[in-house]
């Protein structure tokens, strides 16, 4: 049951990014049948990224999905469990180290901050205000 709920939350976050007009693939990248080393090499020049490594279908019971957070090309958090947890932990890292949000994901991170975490909710962009009103309707 927990995997079912996590899966729904992950889909909602991916849809939110797309709804806000930002590229979900640039924030959350899925990999199938690749090694962790290949993923690290691919992400070495990304500022912030969440990687999801899916196991080989034949080995799915042995190797669960691996979700990690990459900041400035370095894996800073591994085995996050789900995209939802990775987003939450990414926000914690951003706040702990006083990092700036990537401009490519201005609205996504604004929603995380202002709507989900309810921080600084008095100042919202028009796009996030519109989403907020739709969610309350």
Per-residue pLDDT tens digits for 88-124: 999 999 999 998 988 899 999 999 999 998 888 888 9
Q: What does the pLDDT look like over 19-46, one tens digit per residue?
A: 999 998 899 999 988 877 888 888 888 8
Q: How many CB atoms lie within 10 A of CB 120?
A: 10
Domain assignment of residue 12, yes or no? yes
Domain assignment of residue 134, yes or no? no
* Predicted pLDDT at 2: 58
Mean pLDDT of the residues in the chain = 88
- Please give the tally of structural domains in the chain: 1
Q: Which two tokens stand for residue 82?
A: 């789900």
Separation CA 135–CA 137 (nearest Å):
6
Domain assignment of residue 51, yes or no? yes
Q: How many CB atoms lie within 10 A of CB 102?
A: 17
Domain assignment of residue 78, yes or no? yes
Separation CA 115–CA 111 (nearest Å):
5
Task: Give the pTM.
Answer: 0.85
Could you tell me which residues are beta bridge partners of residue 70?
Answer: 49, 75
Cβ 45 vs Cβ 72: under 8 Å: no
Domain hosting residue 39, numbered range: 2-99
Which of 90, 75, 78 lies closest to 13, judged by CA?
A: 90
Domain assignment of residue 86, yes or no? yes
* Predicted pLDDT at 121: 80
Residues 6+ apart with CB under 8 A from 84: 6, 9, 10, 13
Domain assignment of residue 41, yes or no? yes
Q: What does the pLDDT look like over 50-74, one tens digit per residue?
A: 999 888 765 555 557 889 999 999 9
């Amino acid at each position: 049951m927990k995997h079912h709920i996590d899966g729904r939350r992950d889909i909602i976050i991916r849809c939110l990014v797309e709804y806000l007009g930002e590229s979900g693939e640039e924030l959350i990248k899925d990999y199938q049948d690749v090694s962790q080393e290949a993923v690290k090499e691919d992400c070495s020049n990304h500022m912030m990224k969440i990687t999801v490594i899916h196991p080989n279908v034949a080995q799915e019971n042995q190797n669960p999905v691996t979700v990690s957070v990459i900041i400035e090309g370095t894996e800073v958090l591994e085995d996050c469990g789900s995209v939802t947890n990775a987003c939450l932990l990414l926000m914690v890292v951003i706040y702990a180290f006083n990092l700036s949000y990537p401009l490519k994901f201005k609205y996504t991170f604004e929603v995380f901050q202002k709507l989900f975490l309810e921080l600084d909710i008095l100042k919202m962009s028009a796009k996030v205000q519109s989403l907020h009103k739709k969610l309350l309707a």
